[in-house]
Structure formats: structure tokens, C-alpha cells
Chain A
Amino acid sequence: MISFWHWISAPRHGWQLTAFIFGALAIGCGVLALLASTTPRYRKTLVAAVTFLAGLYYAIEFLIPPSLWPLDPPRNPFSEVQPLVGTLTQIIWSFALFLGVWNLFLIHGRAVAKRSRGWYNSAAFFISFFAIMGAGLLKDYAHGPVAKVSQSVFTILFSGFLTSLDATMFSLIAFYIVSAAYRAFRVKSLEAGLMMAAAGIIMLALVPVGAEITNWLPSTGFLSALRVERMGYWLLTSPNMAAQRAIAFGIAVGGLAMGLRIWLSLERGNFFDRQL
């Protein structure tokens, strides 16, 4: 069984790769058609069973130590297939990319077709999508001057546009934070005052200028505790750490409860109650 899975998940090239892609698509479509022909109740049961089995695999693999298995040498047989399960989950997750692109095409295609408000933004999406895809494919697979031109176009689109736009969007936060800190950070109570003092110390402690400000203080002895970087470090490793541990513990307990609900298909609301 394991050797079969190793064989099926091995890397392929040329006509074998094409055959595997189309074969997997045909099998996938067949399974989907079969599922679509059954009743919703049956489909839900099937999804719940698959979810449970997938969760059960990880529970057994992770929680049962090798010494408890009656095998010589002691080992967990489920761990043996872990790399294979990793590969399979990678393949399943890759479908998320396809679904994302499909969703974008549906939404923006509808907007362009109906000429709804701002439809030209949707048209820009299609132009950008096909431009960078075309340049990317041509630079890798074309030869001669076409490949050279495609490489230049790809560099302009990728480094000039895409990465710069992405970085620009993220850097807008700096402007927002400055404006928000100035307008909203008012010391109206003792708690707000403590928070502002802690924030000020941390802000200075994490940058080089903080250390410069209190560099005149001795680096050892009682007064060294007043150096900004020392105070900042104490705030991070004492009050902050205690709070982070408490938050992490709460999240872990909540995550365990949530995981159990999803594993046993007990979760209700939003996606979980929708007709499949």
C-alpha cells in the first residue's frame, strides 16, 4: 500500500505528468459527479466521516508514543506514512489557489460583463493577471529574443509593480498609526497613564536611540536598572511574558475545544449549516 502511494506521488515529467494531471482531473470530476448525484444528508455524513478519519490519523500519529505499539523495533506505524500524508495535504491545499483564482474570475468577470460601477477596475485585474502570467511563462519556456523581452517585462511587472504596490499598501499603516496615536492616545485615567509610560519605554528600548539616551548611566549596579533598554527588557520579559502566557493558554484551550467540535462535526453556523 505504502509503495503504491510512493509510486503515485513521485515527481513526473513530460507526457507522464500530462497524463497524471488529466487522469487526476477526470477522477476528481467523477467523484464530484457521484457526490452530486447523492442526497444532501448522505453527502454531509460522508464529509463528517472523512473529517473524522483525517483527524483520527493525526491524533493517533501524534499522541500515541512508539513504545505502546507491539512492534519490534518500537515505532508508530502511522508515523511511517507521515511524509506521504504531508504531500497529499500539500496537493489538497494547492486547490485553494485554484479556488481563489476561480472566485476572482467569477466576481470580476460578472462586473465587466454587466458594466457595473467601477467595472474598469475589474478589467484591470484581467489585464494584470494575463500580463504577468504570460510574461512569466514566456521567460521560462520561450527561447531567443522572446525570452529576453519576456524577462524584462516580468522584472518590470514583478519588481516594479507587484512588490512595490504590496509594500506600499503595508507601509500605509505607518501613517495611520502616527495619526491614530496622536489623536486617540489621551491620558484620561491612571491605567491609560501606565500604558502610555510602558509604551514609551518599549518604543525607546527597541531602537538604538533609546540606549543612547541613558548611556550616561552605569552599566552595572543599582542605577543600571534605570537604563531604557533594561527597563524595556524587564517589561517584555516580566509583565508582557505573564500576559502573553495567559493569552496563549486561553487560546490553546479554546483551540482544543474548537478543534474537537470540527473534528466531530458538531460545529454549527455559517459554513457548517450550509446545504452541500
Chain B
Amino acid sequence: MNILEKLQTIDRRILYLLIAAVIAIPLLQRPSRHPRIVFSEVKNAYTTLSKVPKNKIVIISCVWGPGTRAENEPQTKAIIKHLLMEDTRFVMLSWDQLGSQLTYEDAVEIGKQLGKRYGKDWVHLGYNPGPMYAIIRGLGKSFTGVFKVDRFGKKLKDIPATKNVRDYRDIGAVVEITPSGTVSSWIAYFNQPYNVPLVFCPTAVMSAEAYPYLDSGQLDGMLNGVIGAAQYETLIGMENERTYAAAAAWALSCAHIFIIVLIVLGNLGYALSRRSAPQRGGGRTG
């Protein structure tokens, strides 16, 4: 086997080991440096949430679970931190059984760091099985008509953060954090009819689908995967902290370069082997 063939047939176990190392090293090292460039959609998301009036609440709708925790959790944490720093009250919904516990723990952790209290500054409504469209549609008409109790069974009318929330007029923005295409339900049934700002936080693979909505103004901002979360952290003054999002941004950088190098190597071997192979039909003999 010559070098050209070897370039095209590297053992997949070696590739697996290499990609594991390439991703793990930055995550273990945890560099504090955040991305220098902040995308315009991330800046718009920050501006949108900064402008929410203090007498309104923000709804954080979390569709994610452990499968996409690596991307969606940093987004959730960055948004929670920003809202708590701004003294903007928020309500969290979870559409995933496991995600319900994870998002609650995230808010508890950041709330403790900033000295914020559950019930006064934020509320978690627990797991909701859906269907999203019916609940979202009803939410605009009556918030407490659709959500009656929090995750502990306490009536929302008795909780300081939610007791005055009637309908869409008391909702300042919605943040949808999701690994799937659920944002269209919010656009169609809530944000567009009631003109409430919407910030979208998808996994990176889903973000390409959101650009038409950003262009049409139906989305007010977007955090593009964990990179968007790292950029958002820069905006809320965490650019020198050793966070998971910053480490993941560099881990992804290394992984993307590694994949590009592998593709180039594979194609190099392919192109050279084609050139050195005998022409079909042989040479001219006449």
C-alpha cells in the first residue's frame, strides 16, 4: 500500500482517538479568552433583552435535554445571567422531562451567585408535555389560564414574580432555546400576532434555517450554538472568565480545522491516485 492509498484509508479508530483528543484538550485546559468577533444577531439578542421593561417578564422556553446540553446549556446560562443582572424577571418552561431538572438547576446556581431569589426574581414552571402550538396560542390570551402552578405546585397567583402577569401585554420577550425547529410555533401563534420580541437560541446545526426569519424581522436576535453563547458572555462582561462556552468555542475551532485537514488529505490522496492510475482503454497504439 503506497502513501496515496494510505492517505485515503486511515483507520477509523485512529480518527476517533484524534478527534477525542482534539476536542478534550481545550475543554480540559479551559482558556479564558472569548471570541473577539460578536455576530450581529447575537448583539441584537443582547439589545432586545436589555430593552425589556422592568414591569414585564421574559419567557425562557427550553426544549433541550441532556443530548444537546453541550450547546444549549451555555446559552441558557448566559441568558439567565443577563436577565438577573438586569433585574428582569423571567419564567422558565421546559418541554423535555430531563431538561426540566437541568434548567431548574442552572437557574438555581446562577441565582445563588447573584443573590437572586426564586419566586421574586424568577419562576420555573416545570415540564410541559405539549402540544406547543395550543399552549403558546392560549398563553397570549391568558397566562394563568394556561399555566396555573409552578414546578412545586404553588399557584402562580401567589408568587410575586407572576402574580400580575395576565396575558401577552405583560410579556416583554420570549427566548426559545431548542435543538429542533420549534421556533415557528412561537412566531405563528404568539410573537407575530401580539408583536412580542423573540430571541432564538438553536444548536449550530439548526441555525441556518433561522436566517430567513432574522431577515424578515420575525426573530429579534439569535445565539448560534455554543459559539453564540460564548459571544453573549463577552457582551455581558464575562470575556475574561474561564467558562465552558469559551472552552467549547476553541474546542470546536480545533475540531473544525481537524475535519478540514482530514477532508483535504483524503482528497489529495484521491486526486493523486487518479492521476497516477493507468488511463481507461490504454494508450494509443496506432
Contact = CB atoms under 8 A, between A and B. Distances in A.
B155 A11 contact: yes
Q: Which of A62, A82, A181 has the most chain B CB atoms closer than 10 A to its own CB?
A: A82
- Of A83, A200, A233, most buried by chain B (CB within 10 Å of CB) is A83
Interface string A149-188: 0000000001000111011011100110111011101110
Nearest to B18: A178
A237 B271 CA distance: 32
Given A94-B129, A179-B16, A10 B148 contact: yes
A197 to B, nearest CB: 11
A185 B263 contact: yes
B215 A82 contact: no
A93 interface: yes
Nearest to A209: B253
Contacts of B146: 83, 86-87
Contacts, number: 167
B208 interface: yes
B12 A208 contact: no
A117 interface: no
B35 A208 contact: yes
A224 interface: no
B165 interface: no
Interface stretch (B106-114, B116-124, B131-139): B131-139
Contacts of B66: 162-164, 166-167, 170
Interface of B: 10, 12, 15-16, 19-20, 23, 35-37, 39, 65-70, 98, 101-102, 128-131, 134-135, 137-142, 145-146, 148-149, 153, 155, 204, 208-209, 211-212, 215, 224-225, 227, 230, 249-250, 252-260, 262-263, 265-267, 270-271
Given A89-B131, A174-B19, A208-B227, 19 more contacts: A11-B155, A83-B141, A83-B146, A86-B138, A86-B145, A97-B129, A158-B98, A162-B98, A163-B98, A166-B67, A178-B19, A179-B12, A182-B15, A182-B263, A196-B263, A203-B260, A208-B253, A229-B37, A233-B39
